[in-house]
Amino acid sequence: MSFQSKEPDHLSRSKRAQRRWRMAFRAIYFTRVLLSLKNKVLDKCNQLLLHSPSHVAVHIDDQNENPRNDCHDVDKKMISEMVKEKKSEYLCNLGGVKGVAEILESDPYRGVSDMEADLEQRRNVFGGNNYAKQPSKSLLSFVFAAFKDTTIITLLGCALLSLGFGINQQGIKNGWYDGGSIILAVFLVVIVSAVSNFKQNRQLERLSNVRSDIRVEVVRDGRSRHVSIFDIVVGDVVCLKIGDQVPADGLFLHGLSLIVDESSMTGESDHVEIKTNNPFLVSGTKVVDGYGHMLVTSVGMNTAWGEMMSSISSESNEQTPLQTRLKQLAFYIGTIGFTMALVVRGVKLVLYFTGITKDEMGNVEFLRKNMKFEHIMVLIVGKIIKTVTVLVVAIPRRLPQAFALTLAFSMKRMMKDHAMVRNLSACEKVALATIICTDKTCPLTLNQMKVTEFCLGTEAMEGADSLDLAPNVYELLQEAVGLNTIGSVYNEISGSPTEKAILSWAVIDLGMNVDEPKQNCEVLIHVEAFNSEKKRSGVLMRRRGEKAVQTHWKGSAEMIVAMCSHYYDRSGMINAMDDEERMKIGTIIKDMAEKSLRCIAFAYKQNDEQIPEKLEETGFALLGVAGLKDPCHPGVRTAVESCRNAGVKIKMITGDNVHTARAIAIECGILNPDEDLASEAVVEGVEFRDYSTEERMAKIENIRVMARSSPFDKLLMVQSLKQKGHVVAVTGDGNTDAPALKEADIGLSMGIQGTEVAKESSDIVILDDNFASVVTVLRWGRCVYNNIQKFIQFQLTVNVVALVINFVSAICSSEVPLTAVQLLWVNLIMDTLGALALATEPPTDEDHMKRPPVDRSQPLITKTMWRNLISQAIFQVSILLTLQFRGRSIFDVSENVKNTIIFNTFVFCQVFNEFNCRRLEKKNIFEGIRRDKLFIPIIGITIVIQIAMVEILNKFAHTVRLNSMQWAVSIAIASLSWLIGVLFKCIPVSGKHLSERDSAF
């Protein structure tokens, strides 16, 4: 009998588990070996495939593939310094651009993985593409800033003295009420002011953060997509074209004729060509010609631009001209008020201490023997407090802040209306604009082009005829479209609107494979990219297996036809282009243009001799002419009509020929159909620039359309209009528009099709590329200016009344009717609540778009405002002085009740006057009040607090309760300001009425 030893169960299970782990390890190891072999094979295959002109790429999605290396071993600082300092030897040591791409685990053609986990890993290792900003100012900093005001410090110091001496003189309870209430009121005013400024600052910061975002085109997983500049990661392949800003530091991968402007970084105005032996691209520079792809090597604070931004303070002290004028106005009024208060109070103190002043009983007020030091100090400090408090009310310190509040509110609302303000001064300048010089594409048209007609030789190809092309013509057109373009066809068609329209026509309508010419092309010898000056693009290429070279041109029909001496007909034969044939082709182009089509022509030439140094421009054969339709924005005609009603003239400046320009201008309402090309309303750019200075200045007012214009012509137009005294707004979307945008009083760039150079040169970005949004900017600009004038009128009325009441009361009696706390409450109504009520009213066409522009020579306080201000000031001063000197006898009340009635009447005068200030010229002050969602609630809040001040906070506000009759009298007297406002608005202030000024435009 044999015995077999048995292992315990737990040991048996342990061995089985170990065997399973060993099997799993072998399986994983074997899988990794297979994957490694697969990757090596695919890398070799991809190199062959990706070097093919067809740009075919193979993508294998394997969920079992190991994750990428975490890139922690990459020397980020060394790579960053290499690009910033352009160290070619470092680049060679790393194996060139391809070596850096391998280090960063990026494919030069496919980019990085689009998986969020991989992108997040790169952000963790290399950082994000954003710049460190200084922390936002806290609410406490605004409170400290408010306490730095001289008048506030003086008032607070006097209140503390009054508190100390008042306790000794009057007892603890009364002393606390006298001094403590003033201190509490001062703190309340300061905190409310600080909160208002804090919210305005946060609003402006949020708007500035929005405007810094840029959309860039990147390649990830072999697919092109547009992402935020903040989402770029190290290893990304970024597509660059004319007008783009380089979003990060990187290296040039591939492209043609890429030239960048590095003046923003180096200060040098020379342009730098980026090529294989100079592949370094630094952030902040701008592409001025060509196109290409770059490999991102550094982002955010590790870039050259990030280093520069870190040394610059983020706090902006930008002051607009209107803010400067408001500060000057506040300074002048403050100086006058301070001088008056100082003189009056000094004289009164001298008269008091010399025993000249007497009380109501006829006795001398100052008795030296009976006066104690504490009593004298309380008396002096009390008089100083009242003087300083009146100065707090009388000095319009909040005028610049009210303007900032208006700007913050308006910028937020304009953002919702597709307009982003980059320059604060533009908000006020827009109100002065008299002329808008606009492009055709984007503002007036949708920039969604489509080929609707095609002409081959002298014959129009329609419908199915377009597919019936001779093989040789079909092949040449295929080359012209596929090679002479910076657009691409990969899952979707990308490129400029013109490129997309032509590629769509070739692929969809003609059934072409635009990638096929790239496979048959041995090399692109030379490329001339399209820009608005040349208005054409060309390529010099050689077909595979041939010695001859071929040239293709594409561009403006008139310019391309002028280069041609032959043309292809429908059968594919080449015919000489004599004068008669040239005239027929010209007629076809004119007919297309009169249908508002943009005409693009294709030309071809083969050169059997040696390769020319540059693309030739004569002896070509015309392949055909395509007509592209770009429909107008649906509301553009109404927007043009609104500008005309507002006294703003529209001038369209375009690169299209005169026939297309005239057709578009008629469709948009800029021109009348009966105005022909012989009139001075339509000119060509060459004609305009050839005018003498005197002739140009004489004719410029009548010009409404300028065709075939160059960027210089647009700049010359702006300069000439400014010399005539006009305030000029200009729209633009390209690099070449930058000089005109900077020269104009208001530069308006396009947010969708506009280049970064154009946006940086502009004051306002139109986010939807629609002319209707330009009109919205005009409406808001006028509204900002008008709202500021409303608040100025309201505040200056209170300033004048406060100064006059203080001056007269101080001269005629020893006391002013309003206490320090009451005056501080009036200051709160006037500054913060008044600004919110009047400076945030939205625009209306009736008020802002049916009157002429504001004259730049017009003073800030107009005659209309002086009329309204003086009439209300006289009314309020008369009423308050009557109550001051005759109130007790009229109402048969005590001194405290009389003073409370004066205070109540004064506050309600300001409440009713706020309604008057809503409309500077119109008698109907309630018009459009429902549209203003803040006005009525603020008025309601003011009334509720005033009731509490009189009926509840008696000790704090030094008031007594009023009966119903006294309340009714106070409100009834104050409501007379409405009647005064209507009566005085009947008085004309100018010899030229509004209707006459409207007709002048």
Question: How many Cα atoms within 13 Å fall on the side-chain side of residue 946?
Answer: 28
CA distance 205 to 868: 36
Sign, CA torsion 756/757/762/766: negative
DSSP for residue 633: P
Q: Containing H/E element for 759?
A: helix 756-761
Do 799 and 395 meet the contact criterion of CB atoms below 8 Å apart? yes
Do 503 and 481 meet the contact criterion of CB atoms below 8 Å apart? yes
Q: Both tokens of residue 684?
A: 């060509």
Q: Both tokens of residue 823?
A: 């005056």
Return the HEC string of 270-321: CEEECECCECEECCCCEEEEEEEEEEEEECHHHCHHHHHHHCCCCCCCCCCH
* Nearest to 408, CA basis, from 892, 784, 933: 784
* Nearest to 396, CA basis, from 835, 918, 875: 835
Neighbours of 994 (CB within 10 A): 12
Q: What are phi and psi of 420, to 5 degrees?
A: -115, 120
Neighbours of 28 (CB within 10 A): 12
CA distance 282 to 247: 8
Q: Both tokens of residue 978?
A: 């409405």
Q: Containing H/E element for 928?
A: none
Crossing angle between the packed helical segments 373-394 and 820-828, to the nearest 10 degrees: 20
Largest CA distance in the chain: 143
Torsion of CA 564, 570, 573, 579, to 10 degrees: -40
- Determine the distance from the C-alpha atom of residue 41 to the mean position of all C-alpha atoms in its chain, rounded to a whole number: 51
Do 851 and 998 meet the contact criterion of CB atoms below 8 Å apart? yes
How would you label 41-52 residue by residue, b for 16+ Cβ within 10 Å and e otherwise? eeeeebeeebee
Number of residues in the chain: 1001
591 given a catalytic annotation: no
DSSP for residue 365: S
* Nearest to 992, CA basis, from 859, 847, 864: 864
CA distance 783 to 547: 68
SS3 category, 755: coil
Indicate the burial class of 835 (C-beta count within 10 angstroms; 0-12, 13-18, 19 or more).
Answer: buried
DSSP for residue 462: -
The CA-to-CA distance between both ends of the chain, in Å, stands at 126
Do 139 and 147 meet the contact criterion of CB atoms below 8 Å apart? no
CA angle in degrees (0–180, nearest 5) for 547-551-557: 165
Question: In one letter, which amino acid is 725?
Answer: G
Angstrom distances, CA of residue 489 to CA of 35, 90, 417, 516, 576: 32, 37, 34, 12, 35
Q: Which residue is catalytic, options 178, 289, 439, 847? A: 439
Q: Please state whether beta strands 705-707 and 682-684 pair in parallel, antiparallel, or not at all (unpaired).
A: parallel
- Determine the distance from the C-alpha atom of residue 65 to the mean position of all C-alpha atoms in its chain, rounded to a whole number: 46
Instruction: Tell me the Cα Rg of the chain.
Output: 38
Catalytic residues: 439
